[in-house]
Structure 1
Amino acid sequence: MNVLMKYIKKLPVFLQMILNISLFLVGLVLSFLLLKETWSIFSYVFLYTEADKNYYEFTEELLVFFLYFEFIALIVKYFKTNFHFPLRYFIYIGITAVIRLIIVDHDDAQNTFWWSIAILVMVGSLLIANSKLLKRES
Structure 2
Amino acid sequence: MAGSKQAMMLSGIMQKILNVFLLGLTVILTLFLGRETYHLGQVLFLKNDESSSYLLIEGIVTYFLYFEFIALIVKYFSSGYHFPLRYFIYIGITAIIRLIIVDHTSPLDTLLYSFAILILVITLFLANSERLRRE
Residue equivalent to 2:120: 122
Q: Kindly provide the CA deviation profile for residues 22-48 of structure 1, in whole angstroms up to 9, marking residues without a partner as x.
A: 101000110111011011111221222
Distance, in Å, in 2 between the alignment partners of 1:53 and 1:104 is 12
Residue equivalent to 2:64: 66
CA RMSD in angstroms, aligned pairs only = 1.6
Distance, in Å, in 2 between the alignment partners of 1:12 and 1:92 is 29
Distance, in Å, in 2 between the alignment partners of 1:81 and 1:93 is 18
Please give the residue correspondences for 1:1-138 in structure 2 after superposition, counting only pairs within 5 Å: 2=2, 6-48=5-47, 50-51=48-49, 53-137=51-135
Query: TM-score, normalised to structure 1's length?
Result: 0.91
User: Aligned to 2:129, what secondary structure does the other structure show?
Assistant: coil
Query: 1:5 and 1:86, CA in 2 relative to 1: closer, same or farther beyond 3 A?
Result: closer
- Note the residue ranges of structure 2 that are not aligned, 5 or more in a row: none
Distance, in Å, in 1 between the alignment partners of 2:57 and 2:100 is 11
How many pairs were matched up? 135
Query: TM-score, normalised to structure 2's length?
Result: 0.93
